[in-house]
Amino acid sequence: MKSRKNVRLAVPYIKPNYATWLEQWDDHVECVDFTGRDPGELVRDPGMYDALILTGGGDLDPKMYGMPDMAIHCRGIDHERDTLELKLTEAAFALKVPVFGICRGLQLLNVLMGGTLYADIALLYDITCRHKGKQDVIHGVEWTDSSFLYAVGGGLRGEVNSAHHQAIQDTAPGFVVAARSPDGIIEAIEYTGDPGMLCQAVQWHPERMDPENPLSLKMGKLFLDRVRLLRRG
């Protein structure tokens, strides 16, 4: 398995725009939709998949982060999806399979590892820029020169799209904040709890951004470069 040329990505709940974006990373990327599949497949053959991609979607059940009363502020809760993605992510961490999270994916990673969320930032946080509208809105992000985003975008600032009403409240142990919006909302995280585990996540939707924006396609390509380096050992 280690010598195959293609890079196989496990992607639960993949939609066409995600597939298009992921396949632009490289001519040899193969996306496998894990919707309805047995998450144990990742464990039984750890050489079969090179990375796990967690895509956007509905809200996590707030019971998962100890706030069941906030369910009235949540939208699109899907318990079957929660269970599948949690099991896949647990397996990925156990096997050190790289993980990249987008929007909901960032939130799931944070909750899985012991962090919490704002169930509705407009209600619970003093936001000063728009994070959600009928269509994607645009706002700035700032990152540190020690984050994975520095190699992606250079400088310390960029612009991203935004379509979320939830966000990280308490960052999970092992994760560090990689970027914030101007009003302080956490926009990207990366895992530093184990140097052998590659895990990055963003709150924005790179699959819906202009590919020329470095926080879209270039970010994915650099993640893939790191995946290939890890695969080569």
**Which residues carry out catalysis?**
103, 205, 207
Cβ–Cβ contacts within 10 Å for residue 105, how many? 24
d(CA 98, CA 226): 9
d(CA 63, CA 42): 26
d(CA 32, CA 160): 27
| Alpha-carbon distance values, 82 to 16, 26, 75, 193, 207 (Å) | 21, 29, 13, 23, 21
Nearest to 56 by CA among 83, 17, 30: 17
- Strands 99-102 and 157-162, sheet pairing: unpaired
